[in-house]
Amino acid sequence: MRLRVLRESLREFNCINSPTFAEQFARVQDRMSVQEELDRLLFLVSDQSLSLLPEYHQRIKVLQSLQYVESSGAVQLKGRVACQISSHELLLTELLFENVLSPLAPEESAALLSCLVFTQKTQVEPHITNTLQEGIDRVLSVAKRIGELQRDCEIPQTAEEFVGQFKFGLTEVVYCWARGMPFAEIAQLTDVQEGTVVRCIQRLDEVLKEVRQAARIVGDSVLGSKMEKASLAIRRDIVFTASLYTH
């Protein structure tokens, strides 16, 4: 509608009939381009932009230390993998390159990765397999190492705060769900609201897809297949049916 009105209003502009219209239009366009570039440069030297510069260099230092980018700025393999991940890129990439998921079954992998999407505290202690517990211990170890590196690079976040982001309160719930337990039964395993459980499992499915894509980049077909099986295991019933939980 607006576009049509603008087109019709052009007919009222007598300037377009001027023999020098093209030349005048080009001058205005050049002036606007110069103004846009000036605005961009002014932002780059503004307090708002410069205030972010130190943290930018600190994060680049972290990426170089973890071998995500070279000193020249070229992106390495780990950096390419991290680009496939939408959240908690450093932790998940490090887990992949340290083969943390290798000894886990598909349902255990899904359960472990639930720590990337679950953010609440829970009073219920999950009952999990020994293999899954070992996986949790490795996740915490890797997270601590990343947190300490970021601290050493002067990122304004303590190692404890970084590690504390990852919550394992839904590991048993996701594990049992991936093994086929009915939703009514897994809801009894936790004090987390059912709607939150549904949304976390839905978000987890996106994480599994990202890990599968990352596995393709590094040529790990076994991990890719495992992520596909894990995704299929959790994509069922009420969790992936349109309902009041997801609206």
For residues 55-67, average pLDDT: 91
* Residues listed for the chain: 247
Angle 157-161-163 from CA coordinates, rounded to 5°: 120
49 pLDDT higher than 70: no
Residue 114 one-letter amino acid: S
Write out pLDDT tens, residues 98-119.
999 999 999 999 999 999 999 9
244 pLDDT higher than 80: no
Check if the beta carbon of residue 88 is closer than 8 Å to that of residue 117.
no
Check if the beta carbon of residue 170 is closer than 8 Å to that of residue 124.
no
β partners of residue 69? 75
Q: What is the pLDDT of residue 45?
A: 66
242 pLDDT band, cuts 50/70/90, is low
* Dihedral class, residue 181 (left if φ above 0, else alpha if ψ from -120 to 50, else beta): beta
Q: pTM of the full predicted structure? A: 0.76
237 token code pair: 């019933």
Nearby residues of 237 by Cβ (< 8 Å), 6 or more positions away: 182, 183
Domains of the chain: 2-49 (no CATH), 53-246 (1.10.3380.30)
Sign of the dihedral through C-alpha 197, 201, 206, 207: positive
β partners of residue 75? 69
Q: What is the pLDDT of residue 245?
A: 45
Q: What is the pLDDT of residue 237?
A: 81
Check if the beta carbon of residue 126 is closer than 8 Å to that of residue 172.
yes
167 pLDDT higher than 80: yes
Neighbours of 3 (CB within 10 A): 7
For residues 55-81, average pLDDT: 91
Nearby residues of 33 by Cβ (< 8 Å), 6 or more positions away: none
247 pLDDT band, cuts 50/70/90, is very low
Cα 167 to the center of its chain, rounded Å = 16
Tell me the average pLDDT of the chain.
88
With residues binned 3-state (H G I as helix, E B as strand, rest as coil), the percentages for the chain, rounded to 5, are 70, 0, 30
Query: Can you tell me which residue has the tokens 């083969």?
Result: 99
